[in-house]
Amino acid sequence: MEDLLEMLEYIQPKTEEEINEHFEILKQLAKKRGNYYGMSKDSLPNELIPYLLDFEERQWIKFYGDDRRGITIPDDLRDWHTPDEAVEHVIEEMEEAYLTGDYEKALGSRWHPNFNFPSNELSNEYYRLRSQAFDNSARKLVSEQKALDYFLNNESIRGTRMNRFSEQLEKDVVKVASEEIKLITDFNDMKDYFDTHAFFCGISKHSYRPEIKVVTATRLVLAALCEATEPKDIAYILSYTGGSWTGLNSKYKIVYPSNWDFNRVFDELSTPEAMAVIESEMQRLQRLNTHKRS
């Protein structure tokens, strides 16, 4: 009986005005959901179902899936957000999170609504504005001196401890870096510090390759470091950062432990033992590349 009623709804005559009005409802629904590629037919309001075949006939939608349960609207018919409009939605959630003390979300470390755009340029502009909004939230947290206490006293928001600076030489370089970091109180300056500095953590005896680490810090970590003045707090915060490796010939200013500098690194790499290992490693890589090309 229900199937019969649904079929009757499909075949009921509809005016062009009604069809246009209901297609506008569908477009606004897609916009509200961020204009993702498609929507499930089951997720649509009942009032739209009888109009889907009319939309398809006019090439306003396409069905997809073997059961035709998914629908998508062509890009040229969508009602797109501008980057500014989309960011307004994010800022609303961000400000609400800040007011409730959920600073992790307010600084962009947790899920926020996302949006599709008709071009990469608009998408990139949205991400730029969104990042700017989260940075503003971090600056506010620092100005109110809430970041360090929030980080240290909320285990669930710190993430996974990486032990990135666990060996003695790595701990030594953190001591040196701490002397610089503890003097930085501005969020922008702290962000710039980690964008431009890397940390020398030793030389691998296996390959004699300098181990130089670039730290990837979240906004919450950067904000907490802006308030931290004790070396133990700085070291603890840094243990929750991600990172990657880089080389000596890079864009970064290298921070060395005490009693280390570029000249000592060069001397360590110039010993007969080191040169033999480096030569062997270069030959190994050459064989590997030759094998890949063949």
The H-assigned helical ranges of the chain are 2-11, 16-32, 52-57, 83-99, 103-106, 120-143, 147-152, 168-181, 187-196, 219-227, 231-238, 262-269, 272-293
At 274-284, the pLDDT tens digits run: 667 556 666 66
Kindly report the pTM of this predicted structure.
0.81
Q: Which residues contact 157 (CB under 8 A, 6 or more apart)?
A: 103, 104, 109, 150, 151, 220
Cα separation of 99 and 136, whole Å? Answer: 14
Residue that is written with structure tokens 């006293």 in the block: 153
Query: In the chain, what are the domains?
Result: 2-77 (1.10.10), 83-144 (no CATH), 158-290 (no CATH)
Q: Which two tokens stand for residue 228?
A: 């931290």
Q: Is 77 helix (H, G, I), strand (E, B) or coil?
A: helix
Q: Mind listing the pLDDT tens digit of every residue in the chain (294 residues)?
A: 445 445 445 556 789 999 999 999 999 999 999 999 999 999 999 999 999 999 999 999 999 999 999 999 999 999 999 999 999 999 999 999 999 999 999 999 887 788 999 999 999 999 999 999 999 999 999 999 999 999 999 988 887 776 666 577 778 888 999 999 999 999 999 999 999 999 988 887 776 678 888 999 999 999 999 999 999 999 999 988 888 888 876 789 999 988 888 888 778 777 777 667 556 666 666 766 765 665
Tokens of 234: 């700085």
Residue 75 half-sphere exposure toward CB, CA atoms < 13 A: 4
- Token match 């970590």: residue? 221
> In sequence order, which residues have a C-beta less than 8 Å from that of residue 191 and are 6 or more positions away?
135, 222
Q: Are 238 and 164 in contact (CB under 8 A)?
A: yes
Distance between CA atoms of 247 and 198, rounded to whole angstroms? 9
